[in-house]
Structure 1
Amino acid sequence: MATLRTSRTPLLVLATAVAALAAPATWPVQAAAPLPVVTPRAETTALHDDAAGGDADADDPAIWRNPADPDRSLVVATAKQGGLRVYDLDAREVQSVPAPAGPGADDAPGRFNNVDLVHSARLGDLAVTTDRGNDRLRVYRIDRDHPGGPLTDATDPKAAPVFSSSQDEINEQRTAYGLATWTDPATGRSYALVSQRERTRLALLELTSRPDGTIGHTKVRTLDLPANFRLPNGTSWSPCGEPGELPQVEGMVVDPANGTLYAGQEDVGIWRLRADLSGTPRLVDKVREFGVPGRYDEATEECTPGTDPGFGGTHLTADVEGLTLVEEKGGDGLLLASSQGDDTFAAYDREVSDANEYEGGFRIGPASATLDGSEECDGAAALNQPLGRRYPHGLLVVQDGHDAPGDPDRPSTNFKFVDLRTVTAAVDD
């Protein structure tokens, strides 16, 4: 069951929709025909997660539209211990922002995991990122014409850790992980929704401006998603993982039209809930592996699956990763999810009234011998607005977990830029 905590009250237990967890997937089984393939138009320079590459590992992107000159719009992306990278619409790097060090030589270094943007009359245009290494939010102002680069640090240096109460806890790295931002149109207040690594907890943080112009945060409440599930056959199931780990959330996105949060619990499925973390979370779809027992092998650090009881979904293969919205007028549009386990993307109807019905799927394949597709995708971001002459119909940016061609003995990741019109056309077909 999901549990809700606020900063002012001890504990409130929500009545979770048990039927939504227990019922077998009701989606029709996909036809045997392969999913349509779309191809990227551009890719960023490869990042390498080794000492020579600055321990940079591509993870999660966000798209900032320059309203004065859409051709000069930007993509802000995380590189984990390598910090942030900023790219233009030709996928060329225009700025690199390093992650901060840990407070001591033996402490975990900064590690930027997810990023999202804030567009606020109160706060301005901001890039917000989770610093998993230091359990903090880092905040950067966006100014395309700033002489030092489009991002300038606006983080409140006194901001408290998101989940930890000490540096020892931070070093255990059960810290700030996934991220989605949200501005409440009724109040103009902006928030960050943050998930905790190796836990099911989500935190709602209000972003606030300090007297010195920096941006801090105030914790409003937390909510714990389920870690155990009752199956239709009467058994209890938890996703297999390392001892002590709970099924974490990473990919998240908020629909600004109705304040709905979609949260991807990696080994479980996609949850739909209110962005203020009130109400009852409901599963939109489950991974194929939902309900499959597993045994963790300490020697191989892998899970050996047991017999599939048939309670999983049919469109997502664990892990569920990057979630993003393709917004259209009148509430129409799509929720896109990275199905990391089979290198595909699933598309769902954006309208809650239609129960986020599955609309189709696609793959991102190679465009040429030198421009490959996307495999093991972590993060994704879509923007359905004109972005100048390069992407007049919008843009989808996805992480590629195995950039090719390259040195097979050296980790290589990057980001692919895809014309959004090719994606919507593939789903509509």
Structure 2
Amino acid sequence: MANSRRHRTTYGRLALVTALAAVAAAVPLNSGALAATALPAVEPRAETPALHDDEAGGDADADDPAIWRNTADPDRSLVVATAKQGGLRVYDLAAREVQSVPAPAAPGPDDAPGRFNNVDLVHGLRLPSGRTDLAVTSDRGSDRLRVYRIDRDRAGGPLTDVTDPSAAPVFSSSQEEINEQRTAYGLATWTDPSTGRSYALVSRRERTRIALLELTPKSDGTVGYRKVRTLDLPADFRLPNGTSWSPCGEPGELPQVEGMVVDPANGTLYAGQEDVGIWRLRADLTGKPQLVDKVREFGVPGTYDPSTEECEAGADPGYGGKHLKADVEGLTLLDDGDGSGDGQLLASSQGDNTFAAYDREPSDHNEYEGGFRVTAASSALDGSEECDGAAVLNKPLGARYPHGLLVVQDGHDVPGDPERPSTNFKFVDLGDVLDAVDD
């Protein structure tokens, strides 16, 4: 279009589908994949302080963000993000830390400490004190969910732990099993509009299982959960040549799911099985899952080498997808901004540092519509590499982000000490994303 910023006046009513489709059409797909460098690039406006998880004393590792909009004062909205063993971090829209919430200590000297993996939000859950917004995180270290009430102006920080102290492990039957760390991993929340009940979908580390947990408010103001049902995604696949294939991994390790998101418009769960692709299924975990797209490595045989702890890939039989390079990671939903529920599913293609966009209409088979990269804005503000988690919100967020916000994890924050790897989160103006793919 002649004026590439025209859509901004309606906060994205112009669907991203047209622009992304144009980008996809401009680059031939018969080469097997869109080259990462051929995709449009956007630059972050800000980044959070570096986090470290190493022998130098750091115990925090950036992973997954969620954006909480302050409806009364959008300028004072927040980003809640996981830092693994470092717990949770809360940032304002300037990417400044406003609260650090520690993960729980280990119950015993030989037990695993808390380790927060993914986070998502629940809006308007009814507690004895009234309706409130919550941040829910998967605690991989203890195999539990932890729940935090959000009070923007509370002295000491906006998050208050309201987890039911009697909450049981999600998957494990004992502390010994918890210590093996095949525990709660990926997480997405969902409120069923037909019943008003809120749920968390939780995946299991190194397994293909997903659990549906109903969040249960207690009379004392805490929040617990109960398991409704579980579903196991496939661990091996029949290829067109008649052979069976399973992603290569350490002995006993199955292809796990981490990135997940639920489309509230239709109750559809999208789940990223890291070395396989993106699944679409009902959020209530009934019905048959459908594989929406595959990673490029799908079907490639591999042999695990214990000496290097790496997989040696064999010849590619050509059964993989074109748009995702393993791992497929953070999934998030981009609404078109007009309240209709239309928009795109965004996925982090971790292996080539890009983001892929898919149509959200299942009737359209969630067609691929293009992608983009988040690249360095300056020598002091780098882009996003090996992105784990991402969150997008297509609503005005005050003066800093009047067009909405995209937050992405950066697995290799630079510049920094090369001997001390760093991670953090990049804040990207959503208008810049829409402009980039529209040019």
Query: Normalising TM by the smaller chain, what interval?
Result: over 0.9
Q: 1:425 matched to which residue of 2?
A: 435
Whole-angstrom CA distance in 2 between matches of 1:249 and 1:146: 35
The answer to whether the 8 A contact 1:36-1:426 is kept is yes
Alignment of 1:275-314 (within 5 A): 275-314=283-322
Q: CA deviation at 1:321?
A: 0.4
Deviations 1:102-125 (A, max 9, x none): 210110010000000000242520
1:228 maps to 236
Contact kept? 1:254, 1:261, Cα under 8 Å: yes
Distance 1:327 1:277 in 2: 23
Kindly report which structure 2 residues correspond to 1:202-221, keeping only aligned pairs within 5 A, or say none: 202-221=210-229
1:253-299 per-position Cα deviation (integer Å, ceiling 9, x unaligned): 00011100000000000000000001110011000000000000000
User: What is the aligned counterpart of 1:55 among 52, 59, 70?
Assistant: 59
Task: Please tell me the residue identity of whatever aligns with 1:132.
Answer: R
- Is 1:368 the counterpart of 2:372? The answer is no
Identity of aligned residues (%): 82
**C-alpha distance after superposition, 1:191-245 (max 9, x if no partner):** 0000000000000000011121100000000000000000000000000000000
- Aligned pairs for 1:76-225 (under 5 A) are 76-123=80-127, 124-225=132-233
Partner of 2:265 in structure 1? 257
Distance (whole Å) between structure 2 residues aligned to residue 386 and residue 276 of structure 1? 31
Determine the C-alpha separation between the residues in 2 that align with 1:122 and 1:327.
26
Number of the residue aligned with 2:21:
none
Task: Select the residue among 233, 258, 281 that pairs with 1:273.
Answer: 281
One-letter code of the match for 1:352? P
Cα deviation, residue 424, structure 1: 2.6
C-alpha displacement at 1:353, in angstroms? 1.9
- What residue identity is the alignment partner of 1:34? A
Whole-Å Cα distance in 2 between the matches of residues 64 and 73 of structure 1?
6
CA distance in 1, matches of 2:35, 2:251: 38
| 8 Å contact from structure 2 (residues 188, 260) kept in 1 | yes
In the alignment, what sits opposite 1:69? 73
TM-score (norm 2): 0.90
Asked whether the equivalents of residues 347 and 427 of structure 1 are also in contact (C-alpha less than 8 Å), the reply is: no
Contact map agreement 2:36 2:373 (CA 8 A) in 1: no
Three-state SS of the structure 1 residue aligned to 2:340 is helix
Q: 3-state DSSP class of the match of 1:170?
A: helix
SS of corresponding position for 1:331: coil
Alpha carbons 1:325, 1:382 under 8 Å: kept: yes
Moved over 6 A (4+): 25-28
Cα distance, 1:170–1:209 mapped onto 2, change above 3 Å: same
8 Å CA contact retained: 2:277, 2:291: yes
- Secondary structure (helix, strand or coil) at the match of 2:351 reads helix
Taking the aligned partners of 1:51 and 1:172, their CA distance within structure 2 comes to 22
TM-score by length of 1: 0.92
Rounded to whole Å, the distance in 1 between the matches of 2:436 and 2:351 is: 21
Structure 2 CA distance, aligned partners of 1:68 and 1:44? Answer: 24
- Cα distance in 1 between the residues matched to 2:118 and 2:180: 19
Aligned to 1:337: 347
Distance (Å, rounded) in 1 between the aligned partners of 2:180 and 2:413: 30
Counterpart CA distance in 2 for 1:121 and 1:129 is: 16
Q: Secondary structure at the match of 1:163?
A: coil
Write the distance in 2 (CA, Å) between the matches of 1:182 and 1:33. 36
Write the letter of the residue equivalent to 1:350. R
CA distances 1:27-54 after superposition (whole Å, capped 9, x unpaired): 9854797111100000000001125454
Kept in 2: contact 1:48–1:56 (CA 8 A): yes
Give, in angstroms, the shift of residue 425 of structure 1: 3.0
Q: Tell me how far 1:347 sits from its aligned partner.
A: 0.6
Distance across 1 between alignment mates of 2:31 and 2:266 = 25
2:426 to 401, 416, 423: 416
How far is the alpha carbon of 1:351 from its aligned partner? 1.7
Conserved 8 A contact 2:46-2:95: yes
Contact 2:125 2:198 in 1 (8 A): no
CA distances 1:148-189 after superposition (whole Å, capped 9, x unpaired): 210000000000000000000000000000000000111110
Match of 1:359 among 356, 366, 369: 369
C-alpha change, 1:48 and 1:207, in structure 2 (3 Å) is same
| Residue 390 (1) aligns with residue 400 (2) | yes
Task: Tell me the secondary structure at the aligned position of residue 195 of structure 2.
Answer: coil
In 1: Cα distance, 2:434 partner to 2:36 partner: 21
Q: Which residue of 1 aligns with 2:413?
A: 403
SS at match of 2:272: strand
How many equivalent residue pairs?
405
- Structure 1 alignment gaps of length 5 or more: 1-24
